[in-house]
Every structure is written in C-alpha cells, then in structure tokens.
Amino acid sequence: MKKAYIVVSTTLLLIVVTGCSKLFFSPTHMIQLEVETGNLTESQKQEATINIQNRLVSLGASNVSVVSENEQVLTLSYRGDFTPEILEACFSTTGNLEFFETCTSRKLIMDYFSEKYPSATDDEKLTTDETSVNNEALEFMENINIKKESYGGIFGHVSEENKERLKATSIYKTPIFISSIKKRVKFLLGKDYNGMCELYMVFLTSENEPHLDGKYITSAYYNPSTYNDRYVVDLQMNEEGAVIWEKLTEKVYNSRGYIAIVIDDIVYSAPSVSVGAIKGGRSQISGSFTKEEAAVLASVIHTRGIPKVKILKITEL
C-alpha cells in the first residue's frame, strides 16, 4: 500500500494547462469517442459533451473543440500530445468521486463473520464441503488473503484471478450491518498492483451514503510535491462541502483513522489526516503519484462524472 496523507494546502496553483505544457508537446490531434448515451436526455447529452471537453482541458489540452457528433460517436480536436495510456486512464472512469471513513478494526469484521457465519471463519473447515458452512460467506472469505493486522482499513489482498469472483458475492455487493456499533460497513477494492489489489473496509453514513462526494468539489489541480519528486492533487470544496470535510477530518484525526478516496468504487488512496480538522475545504492528496497519475486523477475529479466512454481512434493532424 502506498502511504498517503491529507494535509492543508497553503497555496492552490491554478496551472492546469501551463503546468502540463512542460510535460507534453502540443501538436493538434483528433480523438473519436464512443459515448454511452442510451439513458440520457438531450440536456444530459449536452452536459456530457461539455464535461468530456473539460476533461481534456483539465488534463492539459488546449483549443478543444467538437468536430462532429454522430449518434454515440463524438469527435474532438485538441492541441496536446498524450500517450494512449494516459488518455485511456482519463476516459476509463466516469469519475464518481466519494470519500469514506475507513473501518480499521479487522477484529470487528471477523467477530461479525464468526457470529453470523461461524464455519466460514474456521480455518479447519474452509477446505471442507460441510453443509453447515454458508456458501456465500465461504466464497467471500476464500477469495481473500486476509491480513493478520488491519492497516488503513485494509482487510486483506485479492488476486486478479479471484477479484471477479469476490465482486459477485452478495457480501461484497451489499453492506453488512455491525450491530455492536450500529453501523454499516462496505467492502471496496483498491487499484491493481502487480496482479494484486487491497480489499478495504469503509463505514457508510446513517443514510447508507458516503461521507462526502464529488458534487462538493469546485476544483482539483496537480502540483509537484514539496517533500519528494512525486506529485500531489490539490482540492477545493464549496462552502457546504468544507463544513462536512472539517467535521470528517477532525473525527478521523482524533481516531487516528483514514479516509478512503474512491472513484468508481475503486479506492485510489486511503490517507490519514496529519493536522487535525481541516478548515476552508482546501486540502491536498499525496499518494506517491507520478506526474501522469496526478494529472489524470486531478482531471477526473475536476470534471466530475461522464458517461461510459470508449476510445475509438486517435489521429495526429
């Protein structure tokens, strides 16, 4: 797991385009995108087109314009030179951003399984076919390499081959209710690293929602870290989001916990809070990001959600 921390950002550098110009050349390109618009109204389609353009701009492109729109195919021209990998990363996520307080007690979860599904947590019975074992719980548990100690809300690790089987279980799809603390816990997978990904435990609010989501974010920009040769993402929230963020960061700081930053149900980072309650809604996410990773992350957060998009063709003009 990459260590990450949330700290107060003392300056917010609004250099999305000029900052990227040092990294990318600027020839003119044309990109064709297949946009999933089946369930969108005309106004939503127009908004989606604007958000897609803004995503290119926030990534560092300039002179972005719509060349043509033909049913689900959207063709754009822009100045900029991004690798296919960066463009794929930029458009492979719809950008549904959420923040959760992580559950750091592995014992709390294991006690839940021991009480509700006693056979599923019995190591001697995990390899048997005894009918007393709850199949759903067994399938969930046997796909996880469970950690002995929980760090940052990580319950365990899941291999690439087991990931889809885990996601198909009802326990992964439906939050579990921990009666001893009267809270619901949801499981979420992290990003893939060398064929493995982390499985996180996060708390839901009393309304079964994240503590904060992307609708409160007004801007997101990437900048060089002041501590190493990596990059960070600076966030600014609106007034309502700032109040929620202050309460959440104070709570997590006091409990020495972590905040999971989630995009499209994937945990990108789970930083701790290093300075107590963060006021003003201005914060910084550091997660040992490369410039490309930080640029994509800032772009996705800044432009909020877009429909599902598939890149059909990229050509240099």
Predicted pLDDT at 185: 96
CB atoms within 10 A of CB 11: 9
Average pLDDT score over residue span 48-72: 90
State how far the Cα of 162 lies from the Cα of 146, in Å rounded to an integer: 13
> Which pLDDT tens digit goes with each residue over 112-159?
888 887 765 554 444 444 444 467 788 888 899 987 666 778 999 999
pLDDT at 92: 85
The residues, any chain, with a CB within 8 Å of residue 298's CB and separated by 6 or more, are 16, 58, 220, 221, 222, 233, 234
- pLDDT for 115: 84
Task: Say which range, 79-93, 111-125, 245-259, 286-300, has the weakest mean pLDDT.
Answer: 111-125
Rg (CA), the chain: 21
pLDDT at residue 293, rounded to an integer? 86
E strands of the chain, at which residues? 5-7, 28-35, 62-70, 73-79, 97-101, 145-146, 154-159, 176-178, 183-193, 196-203, 212-213, 217-224, 231-237, 259-263, 266-269, 272-273, 282-289, 309-316
Instruction: Tell me how far apart the alpha carbons of residues 103 and 118 are, in angstroms, rounded to a whole number.
Output: 21
| Average of per-residue pLDDT across 189-213 | 92
* 132-146, 189-203, 264-278, range with greatest mean pLDDT: 189-203
Domains of the chain: residue spans and CATH? 1-23+96-304 (3.30.1360.200)
Residue 120: its pLDDT value, please? 55
Average pLDDT over residues 14-26: 41
Lowest mean pLDDT among 5-19, 21-35, 71-85, 146-160: 5-19
pLDDT tens-place string over residues 288-297: 788 888 888 8
14, 221 contact by CB (below 8 A): yes
pLDDT reported for residue 121:
54
Say whether pLDDT at 9 is over 50.
no
Tell me the mean pLDDT in the region 210-238. 91
For residue 164, the model assigns a pLDDT of 93
DSSP assignment of 205-262, as one string? -TTSS-SEEGGGEEEEEEEE-SSSSSEEEEEEE-HHHHHHHHHHHHHHHHTT--EEEE
Task: Please tell me which residue, 141 or 202, carries the higher pLDDT value.
Answer: 202
pLDDT surpasses 70 at 90: yes
The owner of tokens 């560092």 is: 60
pLDDT digits (tens, 9 = 90+) for 21-59: 344 457 999 999 999 888 888 888 888 899 999 999 988
Mean pLDDT value across residues 194-213: 93
What is the per-residue pLDDT for 134?
A: 66
pLDDT at 17: 33
pLDDT at 163 over 90: yes
Three-state DSSP class for residue 71: coil
Confidence band, pLDDT 50/70/90 cuts, at residue 93: confident
